[in-house]
Structure 1
Amino acid sequence: MLDPKKIEEIARQITDAIPPGVKSMAEGAEAKVKQVLQSQLSRLDFVSREEFDVQTQVLARTREKLTAMEERLAELERQLREQA
């Protein structure tokens, strides 16, 4: 999910954009905006930066292993051809 600090920042920016007259009529506008934002963003299929970074590392390790396996397979095939 998104960083709660980012959501608070977005909620604060939206609240700051509301004209003062309207803002005074709606106590807790920032909290309500934050709640609505959190609700709507939770419906989206986001991954956190941490999850993204972990998956990036897993992919990098998988690619390294695949490259090593491809090299080993090519070597074994070469050896097999030489024996034939």
Structure 2
Amino acid sequence: MVRSIEDIAQRLAQALPPQFGPVRDEVRANFRAVLQSQLSRLDLVPREEFEATREMLAHTRRKLDALEREVEALEAERGRG
């Protein structure tokens, strides 16, 4: 399940000991800022782009397999000729 940065920051803030109660909102905002900063440094791609690339790779693999079989058949035919 994918959670938003806000949800993650809220859960982290709620996990703090009770003594942090008065500053919980400030801590949550800091958690959110740190999460956004760190996530922006990652080399992430949208799910749609990932799926499209994966499908293109699978298609290319199928074509390569077919070409390899064709080459093997031609080499076998040439060996008999």
TM (norm. structure 1) is: 0.69
Aligned to 1:9: 7
Give the deviation of 1:80 after TM superposition: 1.8
Deviations 1:13-69 (A, max 9, x none): 101112344242354432331121010122233444333322321221111011010
- Summarize the alignment of residues 63-82 of structure 1 with structure 2, pairs less than 5 Å apart: 63-82=61-80
| CA RMSD, 1 decimal | 2.3
Corresponding residue SS for 1:45: coil
For 1:27 and 1:8, locate their aligned partners in 2 and report how far apart those are by CA, in whole Å: 12
Aligned to 2:30: 32
Corresponding residue SS for 1:29: helix
Aligned residues between the structures: 80
Extract unaligned runs of 5+ from structure 1: none
Task: Say if 1:23 and 1:29, in contact at 8 Å, map to a contact too.
Answer: no
What one-letter code is carried by the residue in structure 1 that aligns with 2:49?
Answer: E
TM (norm. structure 2) is: 0.71
